[in-house]
């Protein structure tokens, strides 16, 4: 769009909405008409189909009891694999490479237990200093379980500016001591998209296993994990995928590793045809299903089915196209309408490096977020000075973006934020 000839009128926002081929999907969601929800990168809104899928699951439990595992329209025993097949297009994988299971951190523990095999000089894990804390906690725990000191054996690539991590710096850290690499696909704070294809190639050239945390990219942008040859990936499904708070997460394992015994085995790691033999010798599934641990949480799994039906219809390429348009439009409005208020755009500007949200920095960020919520604009504060605004392609409009920035401008003009303390709440 560009700011030089930028039309900042509301009429232009409405025109963009009229041209939006995904506009009708907003009707699929429970959207409060009196508020603007811009926090879909933390928790996506409930869709009517996700709600219906949960109701259907409850009905099958009510009507079938234990027979729900093998009978009805959606037998529970095979639901994780079915949803793995539905998730596969979102990560660019084959159905057998994906399973819906666990939670983000449990899945990371599973994958590190499976793929981290320190030997000789190769004893260290490579990560970055900007990744989400939970990932670091898990990596530290796995190192300790193997008898290594995380201070020495967890290598975290430094950021040059506190916002992004340069891919070349990551590559330069791929020393002969690195046994495993775990990186985010998108930096949760700045929204930087890492070049996963390049990093996978460089890791494999050095004989290093590499995997990615897709929490902040799945459902917002397309991936080609199988084509790139990434060894593994994991993610949550409650952000852009809209499967509900604490929803069941996902795992991808490249087909070249299928058949490999899971590091953390459990009953649902079994080949399904042998699971009820009750043998004490595990026969792992020959799909990503082998990396399940416990019984699927059906009530947290069901909404994912309804949500993924919407993604199949909307298409991830179209979603990405609109997401880039929405975030570009928001940045143009910020530069035009908020240039004198001390805001800095901290996310990458280029389309190929920008994820699904806009990251604004301001010294008064915490109290500005509180003022936005008071005005029924729902943002996301990130310590110490970040405001994440996420116009989500499936349920946000260009008018939402225009209104949100005008409200933010009024907050700054009227100094409404000064009535709040400039510190985060317990949950931010």
Residue 360 sits in a domain of what CATH number?
A: 3.90.1150.10
Residues 338 and 203 in one domain: no
Return the half-sphere exposure (C-beta side, CA atoms, 13 A cut-off) of residue 371: 24
CA 363 distance to own-chain centroid: 27
Residue 9 structure tokens: 């009128």
Which residue bears the tokens 């819906």? 100
Q: How far apart are CA 272 and CA 428, in angstroms?
A: 41
- pTM of the entire predicted model: 0.95
List the binding residues for pyridoxal 5'-phosphate.
Answer: 104-105, 132-135, 213, 216, 238, 267, 295
Domain boundary residue among 313, 346, 367? Answer: 313
Residues 112 and 181 in one domain: yes
Residue 289 lies in a domain: yes
Residues 139 and 215 in one domain: yes
| Contact of 188 with 288, CB cutoff 8 Å | no
Residue 236 lies in a domain: yes
Domain boundary residue among 261, 284, 313? Answer: 313
Enclosing domain of residue 373: 10-30+315-419
Residue 92 lies in a domain: yes
CB burial readout 2-12, b (16+ within 10 A) else e: eeeeeebeeee
Which residue bears the tokens 């087909």? 255
Residue 211 three-state SS:
strand
Residue 422 structure tokens: 């400039």
Residue 337 structure tokens: 């309408």
pLDDT at 6: 84
Q: How far apart are CA 69 and CA 60, in angstroms?
A: 9
Residues 285 and 319 in one domain: no
Question: What are the angstrom distances between the C-alpha of 324 and each of 237, 317, 391, 405?
Answer: 21, 11, 10, 17
| Contact of 199 with 168, CB cutoff 8 Å | no
Residue 36 lies in a domain: no
209 membership: H or E segment, kind and range: strand 209-213
Residues 178 and 102 in one domain: yes
Residue 44 lies in a domain: no
Q: How far apart are CA 156 and CA 264, in angstroms?
A: 25
In 102-205, where do the E strands start and end?
124-128, 154-157, 178-184
| Contact of 96 with 259, CB cutoff 8 Å | no
Strands 250-253 and 232-235: antiparallel
Residues 308 and 342 in one domain: no
Question: How many C-beta atoms lie closer than 10 Å to residue 23's C-beta?
Answer: 15
Residues 285 and 199 in one domain: yes
Q: How far apart are CA 176 and CA 178, in angstroms?
A: 6
Q: How far apart are CA 385 and CA 146, in angstroms?
A: 37
Q: How far apart are CA 269 and CA 204, in angstroms?
A: 27
Domain boundary residue among 265, 286, 313? Answer: 313
Residues 191 and 67 in one domain: yes
Residue 378 structure tokens: 């729902």
pLDDT 10s per residue in the chain (428 long)? 444 578 999 999 999 999 999 999 999 999 999 999 999 999 999 999 999 999 999 999 999 999 999 999 999 999 999 999 999 999 999 999 999 999 999 999 999 999 999 999 999 999 999 999 999 999 999 999 999 999 999 999 999 999 999 999 999 999 999 999 999 999 999 999 999 999 999 999 999 999 999 999 999 999 999 999 999 999 999 999 999 999 999 999 999 999 999 999 998 998 888 888 889 999 999 999 999 999 999 999 999 999 999 999 999 999 999 999 999 999 999 999 999 999 999 999 999 999 999 999 999 999 999 999 999 999 999 988 999 999 999 999 999 999 999 999 999 999 999 999 887 775 66
What CATH number is associated with residue 261? 3.40.640.10
Question: What are the angstrom distances between the C-alpha of 65 and each of 61, 82, 209, 237, 305?
Answer: 5, 21, 43, 27, 20
pLDDT at 22: 98
Return the half-sphere exposure (C-beta side, CA atoms, 13 A cut-off) of residue 226: 14
Q: How far apart are CA 59 and CA 24, in angstroms?
A: 29
Residues 275 and 383 in one domain: no
| Contact of 114 with 280, CB cutoff 8 Å | no
Start-to-end Cα distance in the chain: 32
Q: How far apart are CA 385 and CA 65, in angstroms?
A: 51
List the binding residues.
Answer: 104-105, 132-135, 213, 216, 238, 267, 295
Residue 151 structure tokens: 């201070």
Residues 20 and 141 in one domain: no
Counting the structural domains of the chain, the total is: 2
Residues 94 and 198 in one domain: yes
pLDDT at 305: 98
Residue 85 lies in a domain: yes
Residue 40 structure tokens: 């879909």
Residue 428 lies in a domain: no
Q: How far apart are CA 274 and CA 249, in angstroms?
A: 25
Q: How far apart are CA 238 and CA 243, in angstroms?
A: 5
Residues 155 and 292 in one domain: yes
Residue 258 lies in a domain: yes
């Amino acid at each position: 769009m560009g700011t030089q000839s930028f039309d900042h009128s509301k009429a232009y926002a409405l025109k963009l909405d009229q041209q939006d081929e995904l506009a009708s999907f907003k009707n699929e969601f429970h959207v409060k008409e009196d508020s603007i929800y811009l926090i879909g990168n933390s928790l996506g809104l409930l869709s009517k189909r996700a709600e219906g899928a949960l109701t259907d699951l409850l009905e099958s439990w009510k009507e079938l009891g234990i027979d729900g595992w093998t009978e009805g329209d959606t037998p529970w025993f095979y639901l994780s694999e079915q949803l793995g097949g539905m998730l596969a297009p979102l990560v660019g994988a084959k159905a057998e490479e994906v399973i819906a299971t666990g939670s983000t951190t449990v899945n990371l523990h599973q994958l590190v237990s499976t793929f981290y095999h320190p030997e000789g000089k190769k004893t260290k894990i490579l990560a970055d200093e900007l990744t989400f804390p939970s990932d670091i906690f898990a990596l530290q725990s796995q190192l300790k379980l193997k008898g290594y000191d995380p201070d020495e054996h967890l290598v975290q690539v430094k950021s040059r500016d506190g916002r992004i991590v340069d891919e070349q710096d990551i590559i330069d850290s791929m020393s002969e001591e690195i046994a495993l690499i775990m990186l985010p696909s998108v930096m949760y704070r700045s929204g930087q998209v890492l070049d996963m294809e390049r990093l996978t190639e460089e890791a494999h050239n050095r004989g290093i296993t590499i995997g990615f945390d897709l929490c902040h990219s799945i459902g917002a942008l397309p991936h080609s994990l199988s084509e790139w040859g990434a060894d593994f990936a994991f993610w949550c499904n409650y952000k852009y995928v809209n499967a509900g708070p604490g929803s069941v997460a996902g795992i991808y394992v490249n087909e070249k590793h299928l058949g490999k015994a899971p590091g953390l085995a459990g009953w649902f790691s079994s080949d399904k045809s042998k699971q009820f033999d009750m043998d004490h010798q595990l026969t792992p599934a020959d799909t990503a299903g082998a990396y399940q641990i416990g019984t699927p949480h059906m009530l947290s799994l069901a909404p994912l089915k309804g949500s993924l039906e919407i993604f199949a219809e909307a298409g991830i390429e179209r979603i990405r196209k609109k997401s880039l348009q929405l975030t570009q439009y928001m940045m143009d409005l910020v530069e035009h309408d908020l240039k004198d208020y001390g805001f800095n755009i901290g996310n990458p500007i280029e389309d190929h490096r920008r994820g699904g949200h806009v990251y604004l920095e301001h010294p008064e960020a915490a109290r500005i977020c509180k003022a936005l919520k008071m005005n029924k604009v729902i943002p996301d504060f990130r310590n110490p000075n970040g405001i994440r605004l996420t116009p989500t392609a499936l349920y946000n409009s260009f008018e939402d973006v225009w209104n949100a920035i005008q409200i933010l401008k009024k907050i700054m003009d009227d100094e409404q934020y000064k009535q709040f303390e400039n510190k985060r709440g317990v949950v931010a």
